[in-house]
Every structure is written in structure tokens, then in C-alpha cells.
């Protein structure tokens, strides 16, 4: 299922002008374990400047310890409804969020990022 999804929904890239700040020469914006989970959406939250990550389970396997990793410093993370209403705080380390996923479940995570100047605003040119 994952291969079919990747074929039918190619990654879309957005070009952005150079920004201030430093990034390492090699890093991953987001990574997710285990393999039966897929990141479907990454977007700015509707009501604040948090980052929303929507994930779903593809193989019908409940996952008790799923891990989302990011190079960003996560201050607070929570499990949310599809409408981004916060429902449950999650265990958060600086660059890792742990959560559980039921078989075929869609999970919405809300990440509040540490640091001044972070903005989840879109960088697409209209």
C-alpha cells in the first residue's frame, strides 16, 4: 500500500527564498517509525503557530510505541482530533514524540516548537 501511495501521490516541493538561520548539511525534517505508519500531512495549525502532522496506519497492526523524530526542538506535543482540538498530551523529548496508533487509525499530532523566530506559515508563492 505504501509503494502505491508514493507512486500516486508524488512529493510536492515548494521553493522559498533564502532564510536566516543555520541548518546542518544533512538532516531529516521528519522521520517516522515503524514502517507501517505513513505521514500524510504536515501543515500549520489553524488557530496558532504550531505544526500539525497527520499520520495513518497502513497494515492493520496496532502500534504501541510509534516515534516521530524531527530536527526541530519540540516544546509540547499533543494528540488532537481531525479538527485540531487538543485531546491528550504526549511524551515529548526535545527531538522525539512517542505515541500509540490503533490498526488503520488516523492520528493527528500538534507540535509546539521551541525557539524564537519559528513559524509554520506557508512559504508557497501565489
Q: Is residue 82 part of a domain?
A: yes
Q: Is residue 48 part of a domain?
A: yes
Q: Is residue 51 part of a domain?
A: yes
CB within 8 A of 120, min separation 6: which ones?
43, 44, 45, 49, 50, 51, 113
Q: Is residue 95 part of a domain?
A: yes
pLDDT at 14: 74
pTM of the model: 0.77
Q: Is residue 11 part of a domain?
A: no
**Between β-strands 51-57 and 106-113, what pairing exists: parallel, antiparallel or unpaired?**
antiparallel
Could you tell me the CATH number of the domain that includes residue 33? 2.60.40.2220
Domain interval for residue 47: 2-6+27-113
What is the pLDDT tens value at each position of the chain, 126 positions in all? 667 767 777 777 777 777 777 766 667 789 999 999 999 999 999 988 899 999 999 999 999 899 999 988 899 999 999 999 999 999 888 889 999 999 999 999 999 988 755 565 554 444
Residue 89, helix vs strand vs coil: strand
| 95-111 pLDDT, tens digit each | 899 999 999 999 999 99
State the total domains in the chain: 1
pLDDT at 18: 75
Give backbone dihedrals phi and psi of 58, rounded to 5 degrees, phi first. Answer: -105, -15
Q: Is residue 18 part of a domain?
A: no
Report the alpha-carbon distance of residue 38 to residue 2 in Å, rounded: 8
C-alpha pair distances (Å), 73 with each of 77, 82, 96:
11, 24, 9
Amino acid at each position: 500500500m505504501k509503494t502505491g501511495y508514493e507512486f500516486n501521490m508524488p512529493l510536492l516541493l515548494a521553493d522559498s527564498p533564502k532564510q536566516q538561520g543555520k541548518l546542518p548539511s544533512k538532516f531529516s525534517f521528519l522521520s517516522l517509525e515503524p514502517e507501517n505508519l505513513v505521514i500524510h500531512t504536515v501543515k500549520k495549525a489553524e488557530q496558532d503557530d504550531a505544526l500539525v502532522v497527520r499520520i495513518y496506519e497502513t497494515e492493520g497492526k496496532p502500534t504501541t510505541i510509534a516515534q516521530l523524530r524531527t530536527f526541530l526542538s519540540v516544546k509540547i506535543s499533543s494528540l488532537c482530533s481531525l479538527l485540531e482540538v487538543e485531546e491528550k498530551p504526549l511524551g515529548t523529548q526535545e527531538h522525539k514524540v512517542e505515541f500509540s496508533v490503533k490498526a488503520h487509525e488516523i492520528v493527528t499530532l500538534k507540535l509546539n516548537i521551541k525557539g524564537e523566530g519559528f513559524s509554520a506559515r506557508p512559504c508557497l508563492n501565489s
